[in-house]
A = this chain, B = another copy of it.
């Protein structure tokens, strides 16, 4: 029936509306300083309405982060899949990450602050989810690097450490950008990041 379909569409629209407003407020004030009433108000619904879409404040928060993470990591993986060759793939990965940050600054502001937050009462589910996403992202990068080694484009290296370093650099540039609120796009740092990742600052260090 058509009616149900429209219902479902409207439901989804409202849900998104709430999530988006929640994202803005959570980003500005943090989880604990944001009240459900505020979110309701800002999104033009009554308090009770929020509870028809989400089981509670924490669930709303968790859902927002969860869906954001799916979008982010999904986008990164898709971008990498479409490329061949080690450098191109890494570049795609970094570019996708930076683009996501640019297009979801509020979400990423939140992300930068939650890492380990001991939120959840029942089964630290969000924390676990985030840690596991973080780790699988590292592993994903490791694989990209390993493929590069297998394909002969790269010498044998410590894949894990390299992945960790790359993630760290991306995060660091992200934070720098979020904090400075520069008008110039974050993606312009792509070349710099690639260069530093591939070559470092360009100086040989005597092995100990």
Contact = CB atoms under 8 A, between A and B. Distances in A.
Given A191-B208, A195-B205, A199-B200, A168 B157 contact: no
Copies of this chain per assembly: 4
Interface stretch (A6-14, A39-47, A169-177): A169-177
B196 A118 contact: no
Interface stretch (A16-24, A59-67, A72-80, A108-116): A108-116
Contacts of A205: 87, 194-195, 198-199
9 contacts: A31-B32, A113-B115, A154-B203, A164-B169, A164-B173, A165-B172, A168-B171, A168-B173, A199-B204
A131 interface: yes
A162 interface: yes
Contacts of A168: 168-173
A200 B196 contact: yes
